[in-house]
Amino acid sequence: MSPSQPEIRGPIQTKPQLIRALREASEIEQQLMVIYLYAAFSMKKRPDEHCSAAQFELVRRWGSTLLMVARQEMEHLALVNGLLTALGADPWFSRENIPRQSRYYLGTHLAGFGARSGAVVPCDIPFVFERFNLQTIGRFVCAESPGYDTLQKSGDPIPTWCFGTPEHPCGSHSLANYTPDRLAAGAAGAAVPPYTLARTHLQPDKEIHPGTIQELYDQIQQAVNELPDLFTGNPNQQVFVPVEYQINIFPITDAASATLALELIVEEGEGIDAPPGFQSHFRRFYDIREELAAELKRDPHFEPSLPLPKNPRREAITHPFARRTFDLYNYSYATLTFVLTSLYKNFVPVANQTYPFFSSALQETAFGPAMTMLLRPIAEVLAYTQSGDGVHTTGPSYHLTPEDEKLLAHYDPDQLGNVDFFLHRFAHIVAELTALSTENLLSVARSADDLPYLKRQLAFVLESATAMSNNLRRIYQIGQLPQFVVAP
Amino acid sequence: MTYAKLLTIQFQGYFLCRLATDPDPTNEARGVSGYTMSLLGEDELDAVIRTQVSPAFAKKNLREPAERMGIQIGVNVTGVSFDGDSYPPGNALLGAKVYLEGKNEPFDGPTYDSRNNIVGSDDNMAFVVNPFELAIRGDGVSIFAKDYLNPADPEQKIWKIEDPALYARRLPTAFSSSSTEVMAILRVFDQFSYFRDRRRYLTERIEQLEKKLAAGDPGNTDREGIQAKIQALKTRIYQIEFWGDRVSSKLAFQLTYSHNNNGPQRIEGLEKLKGQADTHHPWPVTYWFGGWDGDLLTGYMAGTLGIPFLPA
């Protein structure tokens, strides 16, 4: 070791280990994002008999906040991928499907980090898709909560439902799927997670163990400070998005910018080292849960969300229209992950581009239209579509097929590096939307009142997908379109 | 007949636009994640640019305290000149109402069209005005000018247009994020204070309504209405605070458009203007939108329409 190089004290000793740790972080950020989106898209779009006009105002303020937090998880995902690119590594938009029990949200791991308060133990926090309700927002609070001891020291409110005691074991609020047996086991400190344990990219036999999210980011930060010759990626390959919509995606080219990104991630989430009064995800979710609990106490019949199922499964959707729309959403979402993977792999600043304008074509698809004009409207159609079981509507499972995961994990320039791959995907999306638009929606609508809404949504998303497909091709040919250029 | 010199009609005034904003989809009816929302008792969001509204529409959709601030929706002719000089016969048009007509289906009028970065951008308010059908209706004189996005296929929808150059000419040609012209018209030179005052006003209104609730029971239905009104006012405060600069900065925005109309043009009651007009060659039109108040959903518009003209 040269005298100028710091000693490597952290558990991450090598660059490949750091890359694996970042993949770990990337998966968790994306998983958090999609479970937040699922809950947000389940929220009612207008008042009804169980949601008065006054309550609806609460619902959409909560929806606004929830979607903002989901956007910031997207930002975290983007920053982690910026860091990967800065290291000269491939981006990582792959992840495991949900439901899943993340190793970073196991009570035993959480206890090892932030809650050494004797009888108080943190609860497991599974990644599950569940509509917006008290349990769901309670679980989100736990996912973003600092440790028990940190909360005590900071004076922040303590979300008691995130922690178990001998008198009040885990699971009573946040883990609806726990059986009494599992609860009993949890109270005894030997819980069996009800969901499949998530994979890890780390190598446990090399003295790296999954801990908590904060530990993971602390370890990454330490590695950024200590490991030599890290930033070998092309500094001009850093995806940059102007500060908008409470998200900040900036270039990462060195240890300083990497540190800024890592600090931003933990500050926004748990409020670590944030200024007084800072509205972290934890505080925002905590406040929403308090408001919801108060409103439910006042009006026990209040229902802020539509009857979306917990952890939607394709097999459980029996209505052909709903199933086809469900498949289309997942296909469209996978397409977006491919677009992002390719963008991070092939990014070129606009000023440096010449034909083919592949980077611009991908960027103008990913940021903006794909999220707000394609995915969200389809999810909203699903939320108002009967699944066929007589009880539920449905929502997307964000399912990635094994083929999708393979494509995301191993960059193939013949596919993700080829505009035709994306044009074919969009052609399929347009064809499916065209077919769905001709279906008789009366049989799938929750009520006849919803029919105009469903028709309008489908027609609009078809128009948008058609235009996006056209833009993808045209931008590839001629570069950035005039509407994206801000005239002086 | 072709004339080089123009009869220039100037117009300006407040407009109202119930615009859904990014990151809401642009057809969002109520508003969730954007900074604009349709509130209790109002119509749904529709992005329609309304340069004139009926008293009933204003009562339903023009939010307090717009009227107390002197905001009256209405774009009107404010001046007429010929070749840069005064032209007294043009006074027949003074005060005439200016309309943007046509429909961007399924909306019930012309809209700001962006589709969140598909054909325009909400970030810099670079919207296509779709369709563009300008109508001026005064006492005995009516003027109409239409511009097609695609003159080769006038019925083509914007989302079907494959060559963006076709609608690029209908995007803003200039953009100022801190227009002194706009600030002077609105008489607002500090956007932060403007919206701080708005929050204070809304807070006071909430307090008044809460006192009303506490004072007695005006009947269950009325109580529910007041509670909903209080929550709607809280939503307005939430949006101003939550979005901060994204709302306040747009107050000083100015987006300038300029194009030659390629569609039908006509004047009815030309005799009142005492001259002859060329309706066969494109009429140049320049206009700007600005002063966008994302809480009130109002903005300011000004522009000129040039008509090749020969005085009698």
Which of A64, A287, A478 is best to mutate for the B interface (most B CBs within 10 A)?
Answer: A64
Q: Are A484 and B162 a contacting pair at CB < 8 A?
A: no
- In this structure, the answer to whether residues A356 and A411 fall within a common structural domain is yes
Are A377 and A413 contained in the same domain? yes
CB contact under 8 A, A483 and B163: no
For residue B51, is pLDDT > 80? Answer: yes
Q: Do A272 and A397 belong together in one domain?
A: no
Residue B269 φ/ψ region, left for φ over 0, alpha for ψ in the -120 to 50 degree band, beta for the rest: left
Tell me: the pLDDT tens digits for B279-307? 999 999 999 999 999 999 999 999 999 99
Question: Measured between CA atoms, how close is B58 to chain A, in angstroms?
Answer: 21
Average pLDDT over residues B57-66: 97
DSSP A436-485: HHTS-GGGTBSSGGGHHHHHHHHHHHHHHHHHHHHHHHHHHHH-S-GGGS
Within this chain, do residues A390 and A346 fall inside the same structural domain, yes or no?
A: yes
Residues A246 and A361 both lie in one domain: no
Q: Is A384 a domain residue? A: yes
Out of A236, A263, A298, pick the residue that ends a domain.
Answer: A298
Rg (CA), chain A: 23
Number of domains chain A contains: 2
**Taking CB atoms and an 8 Å cut-off, how many pairs form between chains A and B?**
136
- pLDDT, tens digit, for every residue of B165-180? 899 999 999 999 999 9
Indicate if A357 and A461 belong to the same structural domain.
yes
Which residue in the set B116, B163, B228 is minimally distant from A52, CB to CB? B228
Same domain, A243 and A383: no
B224 to chain A: nearest residue by CA?
A54
Distance of alpha carbon A64 from alpha carbon A202, whole angstroms: 36
What is the CB-side half-sphere exposure of residue A247 using CA atoms within 13 A? Answer: 21
* Residues on chain B touching A43 (C-beta within 8 angstroms): 32
| Confidence band of B218 (pLDDT split at 50, 70, 90) | low
Counting every residue written for chain A, the total comes to: 488
The pLDDT tens digits of the residues spanning B64-87 come to 999 999 999 999 999 999 999 999
| Cross-chain Cβ contact B173/A487 below 8 Å | yes
Q: Is A446 exposed, middle or buried (0-12, 13-18, 19+ CB in 10 A)?
A: middle
Q: Which residues of A touch B232 (CB under 8 A)?
A: 57
Judging contacts by C-beta atoms under 8 Å, the chain B residues touching residue A377 are 25, 27
- The answer to whether B263 touches B148, Cβ cutoff 8 Å, is yes
Last residue of one domain, picked from the residues A244, A270, A298: A298
- For B231-264, the pLDDT digits (tens) are 999 999 999 999 999 999 999 999 999 999 999 9
Query: In the numeric block, which tokens belong to residue A6?
Result: 């710091």
With a cut of 50, list the residues of chain A below it in pLDDT. 1, 114-115, 172-191, 487-488
Q: Is B37 close to A488, i.e. CB distance below 8 A?
A: no
Instruction: Phi first, then psi: give them for residue A463, nearest 5 degrees.
Output: -60, -45
Residue A482: list chain B partners with CB under 8 A.
164-165, 168, 171
Residue A457 pLDDT: 94
Print the domain residue range for A266: 15-298
- Note the pTM of the prediction, 2 decimals: 0.94
The dihedral through the CA atoms of B81, B83, B88, B93 has a sign that is negative
A112 and A210 belong to one structural domain: yes
Helices (DSSP H) in A197-241: which residue ranges? Answer: 213-226
A183 and A126 within one domain: yes
Q: Does residue A6 lie in a domain region? A: no
Residue A305 lies in a domain: no
A4: in domain: no
Distance CA(A40)–CA(A159), nearest Å, equals 21
Residue A73 lies in a domain: yes
| Domain finish residue from A265, A298, A331 | A298
d(CA A194, CA A191): 9
Q: What percent of chain B has pLDDT over 90?
A: 89
The answer to whether residue A131 sits within a structural domain is yes
Across the interface, do B115 and A482 touch by the CB < 8 Å criterion?
no
Kind and range of the H or E run holding B161: none
**CA A35-A38-A42 angle, 5° bins:** 145
Same domain, A270 and A368: no
Alpha helix positions (H), A271-319: 281-298
Q: Which residue has the tokens 């409103």?
A: A295
CATH of the domain at A43: 1.20.1260.10
Interchain CB distance below 8 Å, B171 and A467: no
**What percent of chain B clears pLDDT 70, i.e. is strictly above it?**
98
Q: How far is B112 from chain A (nearest CA, A)?
A: 13
Smallest Cβ distance to A372: which of B31, B116, B172?
Answer: B116
Same domain, A256 and A230: yes
